Structure 1
Amino acid sequence: MSIVVTGATGHLGRLIVASLLERGVPATEIVAVGRDTGRLADLAGQNVIVRRADYEDPASLRAAFAGATKLMFVSGSEVGRRAAQHRNVITAARQADVDLVVYTSIAKADTSSLVLATEHRLTEQEIKASGLPYVFLRNSWYLENYLPQLPAYLEHGVAGAAGDGLISAATRADFADAAAEVLTGDGHTNQVYELGGDAFTLAELAAEVAKQSEQEVNYTDLPVATYVEVLVGAGLPRQYAEVLADGDRGAAEGELHVEGDDLAKLIGRPPVTLAEAIRTAL
């Protein structure tokens, strides 16, 4: 068996490789793929096979996927370019005749109105059309989207445009463990999993930060357009700010609230909670 993990230089891909190793998958049966193999030197030192590939370089993908049994397809990060990039990955996977493609998608990808969902929805459709056996891991938000902001929250409070919308965020590590389970377990072929942790609002996020820090931290809800300007004023590129604000807009409409317990079932335990994550980060 050979499990190829794309995006292994990124946070999620690296955690998936680590979870596979923890589950006893031999290092020599794992192929860690990334654009900069120098960042994978530590994995190579553990006998993980390291190969270079770029989503925009079909030849590199074909070489990286050679002999693959299963492909852990971690979605690209370049919004607006992912449709073409992902098409290259799917083509290379089909040419390699892999037995299973596990794709990291987004919550409610088939119905979501989020800007970020468009390319995920198209990728899911193209994977299905390819005829390859698949699993779609529809991940909600990462708790890590919020944790690095704790110093800013303590100084300025929490701002957003999510209203009282519920956000089923979970840690990258929990999402990675779910992926590892799908890659090593049975009975997952052609399944779609909606993955998320215990849901919270941004007001509840602010309240939890206040509780644990013993400081006053409030949530300020803003119109989407105003929130974009706040983010731009904080130094973010406008396009990125618009994507983030659109995420809050979707959250307000329930698009990041994942019902059910697919994540807990896959990882065999309750996901890390917001309170636990904040406690660790603080």
Structure 2
Amino acid sequence: MIVVTGATGHLGRLVVENLLDRGVPAGEIVAAARTPEKAADLAARGVQVREADYERPETLASALAGAEKVLLISGAPGNRVADHQAVIDAAKAEGVRLFAYTSILNADTTAMQLADDHKATEANIKAAGLPYAFLRNSWYHENYTGQLPQTLQNGAILGAAGEGRIAGAARADYAAAAGAVLTSDGPVNVAYELAGDAPYTLTELAAVVTELSGTPVVYRDLPAEEFESTLAGFGLPAPAAKLFADVDANIARGALVNDSGDLSRLIGRPTTPVADTVAAALKS
């Protein structure tokens, strides 16, 4: 039995789809979600849907019942170290033989504030003695294409990343990597540095958007403090604005690049070019 938490989220759904594509019987997959009703379409396909509310540990014991492998998809910033710990405790009690966790690229060395919760969760997984696989994901292309309408309207991508390169990949690439790890008898107690094959700068991304959309888009690089205040001015809560400005400042220092090749090896193909994701977003 394979349990996927956060199964109604963007990544979780793709992981479940990937497992089905790999031939895992639907009845051997558990889609664990805080709101099971949102997974009705998966239930209709035979996937087991179970409630899993991190803040109600009693739901986690039943969600993970019978699990051999678990994928913990990291939650949103806030209370996620404690939320993750509840899943870790349930997995330990169940005696799972693989506990996979979606962490962040270069988690053990990066200075990025966004990585703090991931570092803590990785440490807690190790302390629990669970056989683990850390899926250290780089940035999703969709982090940028999700804002494409605003980008085209404003004619600009704003940031504080300078000419730092981003080894991004499509969300489906990371889902495929998770599917590969969950369906293999590969090593345990390993960390995969999952990064795209073709890193790009935000200047290069702006050029791709311009070429494919026909709308001129430029990258406007701002000092980190100004970028933070700009995000806050757009209505982003102050802690989130600070966090994303720090992400960009660390991108400028090379935090989101890694040449391990782990991602393309796991999925058995080159990673998705950012131009493909931009093109798909323009058609949607």
TM tier relative to shorter chain: over 0.9
**Aligned counterparts of 2:33 and 2:91: Cα–Cα separation in 1:** 16
**Aligned counterparts of 2:216 and 2:11: Cα–Cα separation in 1:** 33
**Aligned counterparts of 2:108 and 2:55: Cα–Cα separation in 1:** 25
For 1:80-119, list aligned pairs within 5 A: 80-119=78-117
Instruction: Give the alignment's TM-score, normalised by structure 1.
Output: 0.97
**Residue 39, structure 1, aligned to residue 38, structure 2:** yes
- Unaligned runs of 5+ residues in structure 2 are none
| CA apart distance, 1:266 | 0.4
Q: Partner residue of 2:15?
A: 16
State the superposition RMSD in angstroms: 1.0
**Residue 142, structure 1, aligned to residue 140, structure 2:** yes
**Aligned counterparts of 2:29 and 2:66: Cα–Cα separation in 1:** 11
Q: Partner residue of 1:208?
A: 208
1:7 partner SS: coil
Alignment-mate amino acid for residue 152 of structure 1 = Q
Render the CA deviation track for 1:104-129: whole Å, top value 9, x for unaligned: 00011111111110110011111111
**Aligned counterparts of 1:270 and 1:188: Cα–Cα separation in 2:** 22
Q: Answer whether contact 1:5 1:74 (CA < 8 A) is retained.
A: yes
| CA apart distance, 1:151 | 2.2
Q: Partner residue of 1:220?
A: 220
Instruction: Give the alignment's TM-score, normalised by structure 2.
Output: 0.96
1:189 partner SS: coil
For 1:192-203, list aligned pairs within 5 A: 192-197=191-196, 198-203=198-203
For 1:126-205, list aligned pairs within 5 A: 126-156=124-154, 157-197=156-196, 198-205=198-205
2:146 partner SS: helix
- The total of aligned residue pairs comes to 280
Q: Partner residue of 1:75?
A: 74
Q: Answer whether contact 1:182 1:188 (CA < 8 A) is retained.
A: no
1:206 partner SS: helix
**Aligned counterparts of 2:117 and 2:235: Cα–Cα separation in 1:** 26
Alignment-mate amino acid for residue 271 of structure 2 = P
| CA apart distance, 1:188 | 3.1
Render the CA deviation track for 1:228-277: whole Å, top value 9, x for unaligned: 11112222222222221111111111111122211100000011101111
Runs of 4+ in 1 over 4 A off after TM superposition: none
Alignment-mate amino acid for residue 279 of structure 2 = R
| CA apart distance, 1:56 | 1.5
Q: Partner residue of 1:231?
A: 231
| CA apart distance, 1:15 | 0.7
1:117 partner SS: helix
**Aligned counterparts of 2:10 and 2:180: Cα–Cα separation in 1:** 18
| CA apart distance, 1:25 | 0.1
| CA apart distance, 1:185 | 1.2
Q: Answer whether contact 1:105 1:138 (CA < 8 A) is retained.
A: yes
Q: Partner residue of 1:64?
A: 63
Q: Partner residue of 1:271?
A: 271
